[in-house]
Each structure stands twice: as structure tokens, then as C-alpha cells.
Amino acid sequence: MSFLQNLNWRYATKKYDVAAKIPSEKMELILEAIRMAPASNGFQTYDVMVVTNPEIREKLKAAAFNQPQLTEASVILVFAAWENINANNLGKVFDQIAAVRGNSESLTERRNKSIAGFEHKSVAENFSHAAQQAFIGLGFGLAAAAELKVDSTGMGGFNPAQFDEILGLKEKGLRSVAIMALGSRDAANDWLVNLKKVRRPKTDMFHEVK
């Protein structure tokens, strides 16, 4: 098992084998990698919907330009960032830190400072910050899938408002920001699998400041 050895094996799977199911132990490891992903200040400001329900997935597909992965992959994850960061949801994070590490005066001070900091910012800024953490989690999830030789697709190209409606995210204070499809490639019918992977040359993307 090595993530780095599978960087070229992985690709954005376009056509999944509908009959293939991800073994539950692999699924658990992928979710665990997402759960253990780092986040700014350790604040995991997003939730993940694990969608297997076929009717819901049909609806999501219609709200995602009919991209076939929505119904053909084994599992669909929808990353949903917190709409805002405030005393309510961040308070729970601090409750948990206190439960794990013990409460202290300095933790209370950090709690108050952190909440005040986010409340000082606009809802849009906080949502954007929350979404960025979700994309780190998406990266960890895609890396975990690669290590386990589970095929995956990080996906945009959907109507977030419709996704939020279908999944009841608004009531939860969440907004959908990314999809991750998981399953097994149907290599014989995937138009992308044999196309050469295109990445920017190293000298174009990286700049040494030395």
C-alpha cells in the first residue's frame, strides 16, 4: 500500500462498473483519512454526506448536468462546508477539545478569541474558509482511495443550491462544495482512462526562492 506509487494509477474516473461495490473496510479507511485530515486550527468546518440511496442519487445526477458517476459509482460523498462559523458550531468543537484534553483557562481564552475572530468576519469569508478545509479533506480522501486502489472522482459541475435542497443541508447550516465519487473503473467504457494525463511541467508550476 502506497499513495505515492499510485499517483499515476489514479485518474478522474468517468465510467464506473455499476455492479462493483467498495469493501466496507476500505470505505471505512477512506472516511477515516478524511476525518484525520488537517484543518486550520484543527477546526473541521465541514460535514460529509455519504450517499448510497438510489432515488436521492438520481436527483443529484439531475442537479449535476447528468454526470453518470452520480448513479454509477459505488458511493457518493458530498462535502458540505459550514455556512458560517460561530459560537454555536465552533463552540461544540471547543467542547470536544475540552473533553479530550481537559478544560483550562487558556482553552477558554482560546475559545473566546476564536469565536470572536470568526464573528468579526463576514459570513461569506467564514464560508470560504470553511470550504477550503473541505478541499483539504477531499485531497486526503482522494489520496486514501489511491493508496487502496479504489477508483475515485473529485467532482464539481453541480448546482449547489439544488444539492443543498435535495440533501436538506440548509437546515443543518451546511452548503455543498464538492463531490467525491468512489467505486471501480469500467475501463472498457471509460473515455478518459487511456488518455495521457496532462499536468503542468514542474518548472512552470513551482518557483524556487533561494
In angstroms, give the least distance from the CB of 4 to a second copy.
Answer: 6
The phi, psi pair for 49, rounded to 5°, reads -90, 130
Of the two residues 18 and 154, which places its CB atom closer to a second copy in the complex? 154
Of the two residues 129 and 186, which places its CB atom closer to a second copy in the complex? 129
Q: Find cell 478545509 and name the residue.
A: 133
In angstroms, give the least distance from the CB of 206 to a second copy.
Answer: 5
Spell out the alpha helix ranges (H) of 63-104: 69-72, 87-101
CA angle 65, 71, 76 (to 5 degrees): 95
Of the two residues 52 and 112, which places its CB atom closer to a second copy in the complex? 52
Of the two residues 12 and 20, which places its CB atom closer to a second copy in the complex? 12
In angstroms, give the least distance from the CB of 53 to a second copy.
Answer: 5
- Round to whole Å and give the CA distance between 78 and 48: 6
Chain positions contacting a second copy, by CB under 8 A: 1-5, 7-8, 10, 12, 29, 31-38, 40-42, 44, 47-53, 56, 93, 96-97, 100-101, 128, 131-133, 135-140, 142-144, 147-148, 154, 156, 167, 177-178, 195-202, 205-210
Of the two residues 120 and 200, which places its CB atom closer to a second copy in the complex? 200
Q: How many CB atoms lie within 10 A of CB 203?
A: 8
Q: Find cell 477512506 and name the residue.
A: 30
Using the 8-state DSSP alphabet, how is residue 5 labeled?
G
The phi, psi pair for 11, rounded to 5°, reads -165, 170
In angstroms, give the least distance from the CB of 193 to a second copy.
Answer: 14
- Chain centroid to Cα 193, Å, comes to 23
In angstroms, give the least distance from the CB of 136 to a second copy.
Answer: 4
